[in-house]
Amino acid sequence: MALTLLSVFTLVGLVLSAASGWALSHALGGSVTAARHIAVAIPTVLFSLFTQSMVLFFFIGTGKLLKEAASKRPDAAGRDFILARVRGFKLRTSALCTFAPLSALATGLLGVTAHTGKTPVSLHLVAAALCVLLHVVAFGREVVAMAETNQLMDEAATALPPGPEAAAP
């Protein structure tokens, strides 16, 4: 629950940062300054780094616990089922946990270069849009995977692999 809330705060920060940047580039009302945009953007990038690192550690820690639970299972099918689920969770989330905060960091660095005139502002805008999109995708996949991981943690001692009828289309 806490990781989900942190991810929501990160998404809100990204949207606020993007909105303040857009307003800055369009000089809406003349009240949006670069300092305000930067004051929102820098903590948001740091929050993204922190949050995605914690999500990654969640899957590392629960993966270790689930592997230990699988090793205690007397049935090979149960062990293989749990280990396959753990691999599936990591496949769905590890790359996103890595690239979402990197996209935020790259967007911030492009913002610095756009502010100094070294790169076009449009490059920073595209990077910001892709960063928000990547965080939204990461949020969706991570929340589902965390819920499934928690359920598997509760059922690890008794979880049974699906039967042949569940595998048929």
**Cβ pair 13, 47 in contact under 8 A:** yes
Tell which residue, 47, 87, 50, has the closest CA to residue 66: 87
- Amino acid identity of 21? G
29: helix, strand or coil: coil
For residues 156-161, give the mean pLDDT. 70
- The Cα–Cα gap between 59 and 10 comes to 19
Q: What is the pLDDT of residue 168?
A: 43
Please tell me which residue, 160 or 31, carries the higher pLDDT value: 160
Q: Give residue-wise pLDDT tens across range 82-97.
A: 899 999 999 999 999 9
Kindly state the tokens that stand for 147.
């819920």
pLDDT band at 166, cuts 50/70/90? very low
